[in-house]
Structure 1
Amino acid sequence: MRMPGAEDSYECTLSPELQRYAFEELNEDPNRREEDVQAVREWLQKHPHLNARTDRRTILRYLRGCKFSLEKTKAKLDMYYTCKGALPDMFKGRDPQDPHLRQIIKMGLMFPLPGYDPEGRMVIFGRLGAWDPSKVRPEDLFKAAGMLFDTIFLEDEQVTVKGLVQANDMTGLTFKHVAVLPFPLIKKVSTTWQEGYPFRPKGVHYINTPQAFDALFNLFKPLMREKMKKRVHVHGSNIEGMHKYVPKTMLPAEYGGTAGTIQEIADYWLSKMDSHRDWFLEDEKHCADETRRPGKPKTVSDLFGGIEGSFRKLDFD
């Protein structure tokens, strides 16, 4: 559905250097950019099952994530909106002012660090053991994470070009956390994020990895692309091992950095989500309607590989 005037609202915020990088690395030709955006927009509007955003900013984000391959861009957009329709637990009720979601976001389980790493990439810091699995559903954690990703894309154009790095402190992770993450849910999340979002992930770093980390990582590893498996770095218990990838100027005070406290950074990003509340509320309608898809509708089994029958309950002492 076209929003009046939305197609003309985009203004490039990239420096000349980043525009040159986008041209060389992502095949973004300024002379052809508008033609490519329009081609994707027209394709979206021709498909009755997709109530998609057609603004230039959104389409350009996907083109960059797919290195301006029109076919890959179309496939990723179709997957994103299809997943949105198939996974209401992750995509319905995404109101930043919902008290439960606010509580999760304020915990500072995941947040972008200020600035960029030496390669110009955003760093997303995770504290994946800092939540109580008896009080918070993992589905709500993933919903909050998706809201954070959308806020990042709305706020920071550089991340669409240079990509991002994850840095995770696994302190506090237990087998109780792993036990509430059934494989079907892991598969749904991994498929949505890898196949539906225009991420450009460049590396994943872990510190303070307890025994439960191996169990959790072994759930995700089979679902990771081969190139990502090669970009995983485990640094043991020494934060110093991460410093050459994540400068101290970016790290929270709790990790010897100078970027403010975890709470200050988490609150900053919550305020950013609040500023985009209207966008989130309006965004709920943008999803696929399988009853209108030409040909055979896609089912959960089609999307996620029949995972409902593959779940084996984890039982830990």
Structure 2
Amino acid sequence: METISPSLPLVQVSAEELKGTRKRLGINDVQMIRESLDNVEEWLKKQPHLVEASQHMSRTILERFFVLARGSVEGTKTKIEKLFTTRGMMPELSMHKTVNEFEKLWEVVNYIPLPKLSPKDLTRVMITQFLTDKLDDFSLLSYFRYNFLVGEFRLNYDYCASETFVIDLKNLSIGHLTKLNPIVIKKAELLCTEGFGTKINGIHIVNATPFVDKLLLILKSSLKPKVADRVHVHKTYDDLQKYIPKEILPKDYNGNEQSCAKLAEQWKEVLRSEEATRVIENMDKLITDESKRDVSKFNEEYLGMPGSFRKLNVD
């Protein structure tokens, strides 16, 4: 439990970074981690609506939930319950994803996790780039589906307690704002923060355009106040580097890492592999069996979403 196994070069985590993340969360006692995970596994066996799904969850993924729960056994149980339930509530975002469905998306946008964790806070940084101003084929729903495919895949290899997002507005114009459906954004944030339990350290906007204020209005009205307060607009890459160190940023942002284009190609190659296909298909099994749940009030108790919202479909 002192290294990441299996490892993936595109999401590097050194033994020291693993220990550092655990130390930050106060869970650096390896024996305690083992006993805690055993506790959660025993609990899962007694949850009729989770038993089937739990058989497809590796010990590796289980520890990721433990990390996201900051070392709390009860918090880990809650996160598993929330994620498995919300995935079923939002199938349009989370279910039945295949790599082939994103071929058109890849032509207009890059979404890539940076290979190295930030040495400042051990957060994983994700970058979104729009590759063209011709965005007729861009779908916000497809974009978020890809985000979650990458995120679910990373659960098997990554080890971090928080994430940071960089959104590059180059190639965007005010007309593209019509692509931003606030309901889709809200549901994606709920699945991210409430379902997966992701802590969002910050959202950083670069290459801001004259319409950035209108974009911020849409984002902040769609996000929870705590997350909305972590949205930053940067006029220069030097300003961005005050938050995200140059050593992990791609060349595109005056950093030392290889370009976003090269990283994007490497991700495509990995996700097209047989191993990735197996992992992605397995993630579809991480869902509750609602027919076996004794009491189903998760919708109101945890997310505060009315029943009509959970049934709402979006284009």
TM (normalized to structure 2)? 0.80
**What is the identity percentage for the equivalent residue pairs of Structure 1 and Structure 2?**
22
Aligned to 2:164: 165
> Could you tell me whether the CA contact under 8 Å between 1:170 and 1:208 is conserved in 2?
yes
Correspondence list, 1:61-140, <5 A: 61-96=64-99, 98=100, 100-105=101-106, 107-119=108-120, 120-127=122-129, 133-140=135-142
Which region of structure 1 is more displaced relative to structure 2, 55-64 or 44-53? 44-53
Q: Tell me the distance in 2 between the aligned counterparts of 1:168 and 1:242.
A: 11
* Aligned residue identity for 1:121: T
Aligned to 1:273: 271
* Aligned residue identity for 1:282: N
1:246 counterpart = 2:236: no
> Could you tell me whether the CA contact under 8 Å between 1:184 and 1:308 is conserved in 2?
no
Which region of structure 1 is more displaced relative to structure 2, 40-49 or 137-146? 40-49
> Could you tell me whether the CA contact under 8 Å between 1:129 and 1:173 is conserved in 2?
no
* Aligned residue identity for 1:289: D
Q: Tell me the distance in 2 between the aligned counterparts of 1:144 and 1:20.
A: 29
Aligned to 1:59: 62
Closer/same/farther in 2, CA of residues 139 and 24 from structure 1, 3 Å limit: closer
Aligned to 1:313: none
- 1:103, distance to aligned residue in structure 2 (A): 3.5
Aligned to 1:147: 149
SS of the equivalent of 1:32 reads helix
Closer/same/farther in 2, CA of residues 38 and 308 from structure 1, 3 Å limit: same
Q: Tell me the distance in 1 between the aligned counterparts of 2:17 and 2:96.
A: 39
Closer/same/farther in 2, CA of residues 304 and 136 from structure 1, 3 Å limit: farther
CA RMSD of aligned residues (A): 3.1
- 1:40, distance to aligned residue in structure 2 (A): 1.5
Aligned to 1:312: none
> Could you tell me whether the CA contact under 8 Å between 1:129 and 1:177 is conserved in 2?
no
SS of the equivalent of 1:109 reads strand
Q: Tell me the distance in 1 between the aligned counterparts of 2:250 and 2:237.
A: 12
TM (normalized to structure 1)? 0.79
Aligned to 1:3: none
Closer/same/farther in 2, CA of residues 300 and 183 from structure 1, 3 Å limit: farther
Q: Tell me the distance in 1 between the aligned counterparts of 2:254 and 2:218.
A: 31
Aligned to 1:200: 199
Unaligned ranges ≥5, structure 1? 1-8, 310-317
